[in-house]
Amino acid sequence: MSEDKNKPNAVAVEAGKEYYWCSCGLSNNQPFCDGSHKGTEKEPVAFTAEKSETVYLCGCKKTGSQPFCDGSHEQL
């Protein structure tokens, strides 16, 4: 997974499996939630993979289509 917060994270997901994307940026397990948001107003975004594939999850946390990258990092 990418260490660069301004780039999307390419992640292989499995069909039918639920994932929790970190929306706060504090997780040590980016791009996934590890509970570090506790005490903040942010909550993880749950999603279930529709099919087994590689998806691009937002790293900058500015996407308008959470949890997926929409290119918002290009404007940073």
Domain ranges for the chain: 1-59
The pLDDT of residue 4 is above 80: no
3-class DSSP assignment, residue 67: coil
What is the percent of the chain with per-residue pLDDT over 70, rounded to a whole number?
Answer: 95
Residues with Cβ within 8 Å of 16's Cβ and at least 6 positions away in sequence, in order, are: 48, 49
Confidence of residue 3 (pLDDT cuts 50, 70, 90): low
- Percent of residues in the chain assigned helix, strand, coil, to nearest 5: 5, 30, 65
What is the percent of the chain with per-residue pLDDT over 90, rounded to a whole number?
Answer: 89
14: amino acid identity, one letter: E
Tokens of 44: 């993880």
- Cα dist. 76→5, 16, 17, 31, 72 in Å? 11, 33, 32, 18, 7
pLDDT at 2: 43
